[in-house]
């Protein structure tokens, strides 16, 4: 096996492992950071070792300095209401919101690169089989 092939296989295995354990691992909420971390015990602020962003342990978002979590809950509620009316779903793997405006029901999460069937939210870590799935389960793409 070539070094490039080995690296590709190792990356795929890592992504599959993380993908299958959404309660154990989270991606850093910084848009350009792909760092994976384990949640800390409640109340302990985390710092991403890659981009140094401070992360709220309860919501897994950028630390909301000066705003208590209960105050932040109001904004979360408003955002969740907006999501319901704008064709937005959370990525099943990393939980980042994804908006699908139009087109094919095969979407790819910009954060974790998981391939997703928009109809049923089944995931395909490398994209293999998604079109066969959509044809068999949903009658088309």
| Token duo for residue 83 | 């999501």
CA–CA dist 141, 133 (Å, integer): 9
Give every CB contact of residue 50 below 8 A, 6+ residues apart in sequence: 28, 33, 34, 35
Other Cβ atoms within 10 Å of 134 Cβ, number: 20
Which one is catalytic: 28, 33, 56, 104?
104
Candidates 138, 94, 86, 84; CA nearest to 115 is 94
Distances (CA, A) of 31 to 61, 85, 110, 132: 11, 24, 9, 31
Q: Catalytic residue at 120?
A: no
Residues tagged active-site? 104
């Amino acid at each position: 096996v070539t070094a490039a092939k080995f690296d590709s296989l190792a990356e795929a295995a890592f992504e599959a492992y993380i993908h299958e354990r959404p309660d154990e691992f989270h991606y850093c909420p910084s848009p350009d950071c792909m760092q994976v971390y384990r949640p800390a015990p409640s109340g302990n602020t985390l710092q991403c070792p890659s981009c140094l962003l401070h992360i709220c342990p309860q919501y897994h978002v950028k630390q909301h300095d000066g705003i208590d979590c209960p105050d932040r809950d109001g904004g979360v509620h408003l955002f969740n209401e907006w999501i319901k009316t704008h064709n937005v779903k959370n990525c099943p793997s990393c939980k980042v919101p994804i908006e699908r405006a139009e087109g094919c029901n095969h979407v790819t999460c910009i954060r974790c690169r998981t391939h997703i069937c928009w109809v049923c939210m089944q995931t395909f870590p490398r994209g293999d089989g998604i079109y066969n799935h959509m044809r068999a389960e949903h009658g088309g793409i």
